[in-house]
Amino acid sequence: MPTVKVLDLTSKEVGEVELADAVFGVALNEPLIHEAVRSFLANRRAGTSATKTRGDVAGSGRKLWKQKGTGRARIASLRSPLWKGGGNAHGPQPRDWSYNLPKKMRKHAMCSAISERLREGNLIIVDEWKFDQAKTKDFINMLGSLKLSGKTLIVDSLKNTKLILASRNVQTAKVVNSYGVNIYDLVNHQKLVLTPRTVEELTGILKPRPKDDEERFHSPSIEGEQERPPRRVPRNRGASA
């Protein structure tokens, strides 16, 4: 198990915490992380863009001139895409872009991304986020003391309202709870800041579950198997007794 130092808000060491190998010691799997990010972005798409076809555009259905004899091109309707104000041909229509990625793949991708942040030295564990007042200036000074430059993802309880209020105007920092961590934020932010409590929560959320080897539906054992009644053979009524 890897061991990481626990720091206070002044970047002073106050203890250590052991991290589970099942979550923080996973090898880097770039194709899996790419697929998880792709799935996350696809599921986030609204898919509400739409254009009006010739059937949706308001207009008269009258034929403007006869089919032949005028010397002009034939026309069916003013709502044709060939005319100004007509419908759009082959335009975008509302659709669902989401697709389901298996839960095990999502968890393994997140574990791989978190483990890579640890190997890079960009995973920092802070003892506790304490604020006397919810001031953005104090929050920026704390980031400077912890040497957190660039995009920073902070995982803490959402009940810490002072942390949320102090950090909401800082564009390079984002605060989420353990259940709000996603693969896109892990890849998009260079630094990851946890607390001992969130380490336990993430371990409980992301660690693989023990497999149940017992089959839900199984045939009875040979010893306890009940004897089946003999199969009834129909009589041959046409045969003589």
Residue type at position 203: T
| Whole-number Å distance between alpha carbons of 47 and 96 | 6
Per residue in 200-222, pLDDT tens?
Answer: 999 999 988 876 344 444 444 44
If pLDDT is split at 50, 70 and 90, which confidence band does 229 have? low
Q: Which pLDDT belongs to residue 183?
A: 94
| Whole-number Å distance between alpha carbons of 133 and 122 | 27
CB contact set of 48 (below 8 Å; sequence gap of 6+): 94
**Cβ-count burial of 241 within 10 angstroms (0-12 exposed, 13-18 middle, 19+ buried)?**
exposed
Q: Which pLDDT belongs to residue 212?
A: 39
Per residue in 107-124, pLDDT tens?
Answer: 999 999 999 999 998 999
Q: Which two tokens stand for residue 4?
A: 């990481």
Per residue in 174-195, pLDDT tens?
Answer: 999 999 999 999 999 999 999 9
Tell me the mean pLDDT in the region 130-135.
89
| Structure-model confidence comparison of residues 66 and 223, the more confident one | 66
Tell me the mean pLDDT in the region 96-109.
92
Q: Is the pLDDT of residue 241 over 60?
A: no
Q: Is the pLDDT of residue 36 over 80?
A: yes
Q: Which pLDDT belongs to residue 14?
A: 87
Q: Which pLDDT belongs to residue 193?
A: 94
